[in-house]
Structure 1
Amino acid sequence: MFKYLFAPWRLAYIKELSNKKRRCIFCEALKKEDFDSFILYRGKKNFIIMNLYPYTPGHLMIAPFRHIQNFEESEEEESNEMIYLAKASIKILKEYFSPDGFNIGMNIGKSAGAGEVGHYHLHIVPRWEGDSNFMAVFSKTKVVSQEVGKVYQDLLPFFKNFKKE
């Protein structure tokens, strides 16, 4: 028997998926001011952005500036910087949120669960014991929820002080 978890903030995301003229969320975000797009950091080849429809508070994504679909098509400098930014992001998220763990990964292709098929990106999802486990269909589901704008404001100073070593 399923238990239902109501997450009304995800409705906008679901509606956006049905829009046939959908634009790339990452390329569109890059055209706006960082504050308006929830971009926390711009590196040489990649940027760190808050997920507007997070599974947990602090759910970040790292994407290349270039609009490329497949990870294997990335340049070495792009993929190296992406991993470096992932490590730095985890350090910051540990300091701010003190999560019990993290999920880190890519959904490449629609069948793999990619919501944005045309622009590969890396997810970093802070995890806590007893949280929702990616909205799994298991019983006793719990959600840790915090407003994205508040989390952005709280994390921004950490990323503004971030310097590549």
Structure 2
Amino acid sequence: MDGLERLWTPHRMPYITGERAPGGCPLCLAPDLPEDETLVVARGELVFAVLNLYPYNPGHVMICPYRHVADYTDLTEDETVETAVFTRTAMRVIRAVSRPHGFNLGMNQGAVAGAGIAEHLHQHVVPRWSGDGNFMPVIGQTKVLPQLLAETRVMLAEAWPASGH
């Protein structure tokens, strides 16, 4: 034995190998799944908030238009506004339930820019805490997440305003 401890994360293998969910775009499929099978936190008229299946930190959500569109410049004015409103609401909700010290917000436009699902636009809302970049990702190239996705989804969904924003 080499003396190393191992964290097994087999759910990440499809992401590493580039496999996609059967049946099409996972961001198009997510809003139509039954509540107990989805990571959708909140639904709006034109966009929805969904937990990232491979989060950087607990509470990492993505704001996605329902419409399958790849580029930010292809959003309608109403989709752009609701994306911004949902991003703002996600920050408020995450602050209320998790008290992060800050956030990373962003979109990776295209595969070359790092988009894991380049064909369906999504705005990342990543809560950050002082010291959350410890030795595990730096030395061990492993991210340790202290909360299950299903628990995070319930916590955020219950705190999301009934109006959607």
Q: TM-score range by the shorter chain?
A: 0.7 to 0.9
* Aligned CA distance change for structure 1 residues 163 and 108 (closer, same or farther; 3 Å): same
Percent of pairs identical after alignment? 33
Residues 68, 74 of structure 1: 8 Å contact kept: yes
Report the aligned-residue RMSD: 2.7
Partner of 2:42: 41
Give the secondary structure class of the aligned counterpart of 1:126. strand
Moved more, 115-124 or 18-27: 18-27
Report the TM-score when normalising by structure 1.
Answer: 0.83
Q: Give CA deviations for 1:84-129 in whole Å, capped at 9, x if unaligned.
A: 0110110010010001110110011001100001100101000111
Determine the C-alpha separation between the residues in 1 that align with 2:148 and 2:71: 31
* Aligned CA distance change for structure 1 residues 27 and 120 (closer, same or farther; 3 Å): same
Q: Is 2:143 aligned against 1:149? A: no
Equivalent runs, 1:118-157 vs 2, <5 Å:
118-132=119-133, 138-139=138-139, 143-157=144-158
Partner of 1:163: 163
Aligned partner of 1:72: which letter? Answer: T
Aligned length: 158
Q: Which runs of no fewer than 5 residues in structure 2 stay unpaired?
A: 1-5
- CA shift, 1:140, in A, is 8.2
Report the TM-score when normalising by structure 2.
Answer: 0.83
Give the secondary structure class of the aligned counterpart of 1:104. strand
Give the secondary structure class of the aligned counterpart of 1:10. helix
Determine the C-alpha separation between the residues in 2 that align with 1:114 and 1:79: 19
Q: Give CA deviations for 1:65-97 in whole Å, capped at 9, x if unaligned.
A: 100111100001001010001101100100100
Determine the C-alpha separation between the residues in 2 that align with 1:59 and 1:11: 19
Residues 69, 119 of structure 2: 8 Å contact kept: yes
* Aligned CA distance change for structure 1 residues 41 and 164 (closer, same or farther; 3 Å): closer
Determine the C-alpha separation between the residues in 1 that align with 2:87 and 2:42: 12
